[in-house]
Amino acid sequence: MLNLERQQEILAIVKEKNSATVEELASELFVSGATIRRDLKEMEKQGLIKRTHGGAMSFKDSTDESSFALREQENTVAKRTMAHLAAKLIASGDNVFLDSSSSSGALIPKLNGFPVLSVTTTGIRNALLLSQSDHIRIYIAGGQILNHSNSIIGSDTVDYISRMHSDIAFMSCSGVDVQNGFTDSSTEQAKLKRQMRQNSKKVAMLVDSTKFNKTFLCTDFDFNEVDYLITEKTPPIEFVERIAQTKCKIISPENTDY
């Protein structure tokens, strides 16, 4: 069976079951686990599936609320580390943009320490978490709520953000690659993030190390369009060398040069 044919079979199985393990796929397609893992890695780069520990899940399933709850529990140490670093970029009185990602959501507990702050978000869950604070003025973008999703998207959302302005925007992405920059599987999300960038004085991308060397369908930004890349550990050397050629600064526990 050719690689493309096998990957089409994998995609059909994952869509039917919503998820599948490497062992299940290898058994059904009569190939080795190593072959399946290579296929899943390539398919994730194409934005066809989302890899999980030991297998894969469909992107349809990966955007629903239960999966968002799971993502909140994934890489929690990394997200807390990034949130601690990111909070140092905020000053009392700032206007802040937060996208709908769980990485941005991890920053919310850190915001209670600021006596005056305004936050605009495109995430339902993030808005709910913000509403528990005492000192934050909260704005949520209007628009279409994608079914089974935490996100608000669409032209109305972009229009709302176009009328707001922030001192700094905190966003995440699905993957980051040396050649293609920050990418996502959704054209709607990419368009919204570009509008956030346009209306922000500074942009910080929260990207944990599992997202490096992954490329998805749409480019959000090139490195030179971002002020800070915040991650929980120093990126691979090829990223360090590439980013050194741009205005972007890497912020990690090993590098806190703000």
pLDDT above 70 (res 148)? no
| Euclidean distance between CA atoms 59 and 68, whole angstroms | 12
Q: What CATH number does the domain containing 30 carry?
A: 1.10.10.10
Average pLDDT over residues 210-231: 94
Instruction: Write down which residue in 61, 83, 103 finishes a domain.
Output: 61
- Judgement on whether residues 84 and 211 belong to the same structural domain of the protein: yes
At 36 the three-state DSSP class reads helix
pLDDT of residue 63: 42
Total length of the chain: 258
pLDDT above 70 (res 65)? no
- Judgement on whether residues 48 and 125 belong to the same structural domain of the protein: no
- Judgement on whether residues 77 and 133 belong to the same structural domain of the protein: yes
| Euclidean distance between CA atoms 234 and 252, whole angstroms | 6
- Judgement on whether residues 125 and 167 belong to the same structural domain of the protein: yes
pLDDT above 90 (res 257)? no
Query: Identity (one letter) of the amino acid at 80?
Result: R
pLDDT of residue 96: 98
Domain that holds residue 218: 71-251
pLDDT above 60 (res 144)? yes
At 140 the three-state DSSP class reads strand
pLDDT of residue 60: 54
- Judgement on whether residues 77 and 188 belong to the same structural domain of the protein: yes
- Read off the pLDDT band of 196 (50, 70, 90): very high
- Judgement on whether residues 121 and 52 belong to the same structural domain of the protein: no
Using CA atoms of 95, 101, 102, 104 in order, give the dihedral in degrees to the nearest 10: -20
| pLDDT tens column, 163-177 | 999 999 999 999 999
pLDDT above 60 (res 68)? no
CA dist list (Å): 192 to 21, 109, 121, 123: 33, 24, 11, 12
Instruction: Write down which residue in 37, 61, 85 finishes a domain.
Output: 61
Residue 53 forms part of a structural domain: yes
Residue 258 forms part of a structural domain: no
- Judgement on whether residues 82 and 45 belong to the same structural domain of the protein: no
- Judgement on whether residues 44 and 124 belong to the same structural domain of the protein: no
pLDDT of residue 227: 98
pLDDT above 50 (res 61)? no
Quote the Cα angle for 158-159-164, to 5°: 95
Percent of the chain with pLDDT over 90: 66
Residue 203 forms part of a structural domain: yes
| pLDDT tens column, 73-111 | 567 889 999 999 999 999 999 999 999 999 999 999 999
Residue 239 forms part of a structural domain: yes
Contact of 22 with 38, CB cutoff 8 Å: no
Residue 257 forms part of a structural domain: no
pLDDT of residue 73: 53
Higher pLDDT pick, 141 / 14:
141
**Radius of gyration for the chain, computed over Cα atoms and rounded to the nearest angstrom:** 19
| Euclidean distance between CA atoms 251 and 231, whole angstroms | 6
pLDDT of residue 76: 83
- Judgement on whether residues 181 and 83 belong to the same structural domain of the protein: yes
Higher pLDDT pick, 153 / 147:
153
- Judgement on whether residues 42 and 162 belong to the same structural domain of the protein: no
pLDDT of residue 8: 82
pLDDT of residue 12: 86
- Judgement on whether residues 81 and 23 belong to the same structural domain of the protein: no
Average pLDDT over residues 46-63: 73
Average pLDDT over residues 125-136: 91
Written as one string, the DSSP assignment of the chain is --HHHHHHHHHHHHHHHSEEEHHHHHHHHT--HHHHHHHHHHHHHTTSEEEETTEEEEHHHHTSHHHHHHHHHTTHHHHHHHHHHHHTT--TT-EEEE-S-HHHHTTGGGGGG-SSEEEEESBHHHHHHHTT-SSEEEEE--SEE-TT-SBEESHHHHHHHHT--EEEEEE--SEEETTTEEEES-HHHHHHHHHHHHTEEEEEEE--GGGBT---SEEEE-GGG-SEEE-SSPPPHHHHHHHTTSS-EEEBTTB---
Residue 216 forms part of a structural domain: yes
Q: What CATH number does the domain containing 229 carry?
A: 3.40.50.1360
Residue 57 forms part of a structural domain: yes
Q: Please give the structure tokens belonging to residue 249.
A: 């600064």
pLDDT of residue 104: 95
- Judgement on whether residues 17 and 88 belong to the same structural domain of the protein: no
Q: Could you give the number of structural domains in the chain?
A: 2
Residue 232 forms part of a structural domain: yes
